[in-house]
Amino acid sequence: MSAALAIPRHTLSIVVPVFNEEDNIGPLVKRVHAALVGYENAWELVLVDDGSSDATVERGLQAAREYGSHVRIVELTRNFKQTAAMQAGIDAARGDVIVTMDGDLQNDPIDIPRMVARLLNEDLDLVAGWRQNRQDGLFLRKIPSKIANRLIARMTGVYLKDYGCSLKAFRGSVIKSVRLYGEMHRFIPAWLATVTTPRRIAQEPTTHHARTAGVSKYGISRTFRVILDLIAVFYFMRFRARPGHFFGGIGLSLTALSGLIMAWLVWVKFGLGENIGGRPLLIVGIGTMIAGVHFITTGVLAEIMARIYFESGTVRSYAARPENPLAADEGWHRPA
């Protein structure tokens, strides 16, 4: 490794979730090994099969036999989707540094040493990939992605140009303190900002290739899921430990509005002597009061659930078949 990429001693885990990528597994493992030729630290490659229905697992096992025990296969019992597969890989990873990437050959492993060097030399917790020359469709991928990136950055306060790039380098101790579920893999930098400062999150330009085999798992429909997930991220970033403030704030605002409406109607009824029984404003006032009380009680229940969440153990979002246990010094690709 060149002096420009000299980095502190560490162990590296590369986590790759895959789903029906039988034609890409062999080339992927080959590219990773080619990119890490001469890498001066121990590393492992963790392939997470997300319930593939093709020969992905068989190709992965074949690669493990060919290259060695540092190529590991985590086989999920069914298709749990990418976020759960990524969480399974992170849980299985043993490295001080964890790199995630897609298994469709669009991310290039050649960028890994540079990203890891920046992570450790600049004392960062995350270096996120930035696909400057993205090889995807303009209207179905690039434009929705640009809009989503700006919206996510504005709402979360973590300003990255490419949230959707799966190629990311994490400090292992930090990413393991975050639990991923649902479809939250797009918002990992935002989730990470709940346990570290955005100042320790950076981005690095990366290579991006067009898909040559397999079928893309993404479509325009994910735009709507991103919006819903973004609302959830915003809530958890601001109010995870105090949900009562979120729901209670809305509830108090509604009850205050209802109080003003009802006070006005009382004045109209007894001050002006007018009939208010047929006024739509009466129904609005009563409905607003009911909604406000509901939000306040929801806030109380959310506070109780938050206490249970923080005091209980973690529950995994996936199920995986057991691996053969490895000793601490086994299953690493070590420099010659």
pLDDT digits (tens, 9 = 90+) for 265-295: 999 988 888 888 888 899 999 999 999 999 9
In a domain, 205, yes or no: yes
In a domain, 331, yes or no: no
What pLDDT is recorded for position 125? 96
Q: Which residues pair with 171 in a beta bridge?
A: 97
User: How far apart are alpha carbons 129 and 115 in whole angstroms?
Assistant: 8
Closest CA to 102 of 39, 196, 1, 32: 32
Domain tally, the chain: 2
Regions of the chain where pLDDT drops below 70: 1-5, 134-145, 147, 182, 211-226, 306-307, 309-319
In a domain, 327, yes or no: no
Please list, in sequence order, all residues whose beta carbon lies within 8 angstroms of the beta carbon of residue 319, skipping any fewer than 6 positions away: 76, 77, 78, 80
Helical (H) or strand (E) element with 201? strand 201-206
Q: Which of 205, 222, 239 is the last residue of a domain?
A: 239
Instruction: Please give the model's pTM, rounded to 2 decimal places.
Output: 0.76
Q: Which of 215, 239, 263 is the last residue of a domain?
A: 239
Unique residue bearing structure tokens 């992605």: 145
- Same domain for 56 and 158, yes or no, is yes
| CATH number of the domain bearing residue 109 | 3.90.550.10
Unique residue bearing structure tokens 């050959």: 105
- Same domain for 227 and 250, yes or no, is no
**Cβ proximity of 333 and 41 under 8 Å:** no
Strands 168-171 and 97-100: antiparallel
The model's pLDDT over 46-92, given as tens digits with 9 standing for 90+, comes to 999 999 999 999 999 999 999 999 999 999 999 998 889 999 999 99
What pLDDT is recorded for position 2? 47
What pLDDT is recorded for position 162? 83
Q: Encode 176-197: b = buried (16+ Cβ within 10 Å), e = exposed.
A: eebebeebbbbbbbbbbbeebe
What pLDDT is recorded for position 144? 64
User: How far apart are alpha carbons 141 and 227 in whole angstroms?
Assistant: 15
- Same domain for 251 and 215, yes or no, is no
- Same domain for 148 and 182, yes or no, is yes
Domain ranges, residue 198: 3-239
User: How far apart are alpha carbons 210 and 151 in whole angstroms?
Assistant: 26
- Same domain for 104 and 138, yes or no, is yes
- Same domain for 183 and 257, yes or no, is no
User: How far apart are alpha carbons 190 and 196 in whole angstroms?
Assistant: 10
- Same domain for 118 and 216, yes or no, is yes
167 class by beta-carbon count within 10 Å (0-12 exposed, 13-18 middle, 19+ buried): buried
What pLDDT is recorded for position 58? 96
- Same domain for 11 and 126, yes or no, is yes
> CA angle 183-189-191, nearest 5°?
65
In a domain, 252, yes or no: yes
- Same domain for 68 and 36, yes or no, is yes
User: How far apart are alpha carbons 28 and 34 in whole angstroms?
Assistant: 10
- Same domain for 62 and 197, yes or no, is yes
- Same domain for 112 and 223, yes or no, is yes
In a domain, 65, yes or no: yes
CA atoms within 13 A on the CB side of 125: 20
Unique residue bearing structure tokens 């893309």: 216
Please list, in sequence order, all residues whose beta carbon lies within 8 angstroms of the beta carbon of residue 53, skipping any fewer than 6 positions away: 20
Q: Which of 239, 266, 284 is the last residue of a domain?
A: 239
- Same domain for 29 and 176, yes or no, is yes
User: How far apart are alpha carbons 274 and 295 in whole angstroms?
Assistant: 32
Helical (H) or strand (E) element with 175? helix 172-175
In a domain, 77, yes or no: yes
In a domain, 334, yes or no: no
Any idea what DSSP says for residue 16? Answer: E
In a domain, 317, yes or no: no
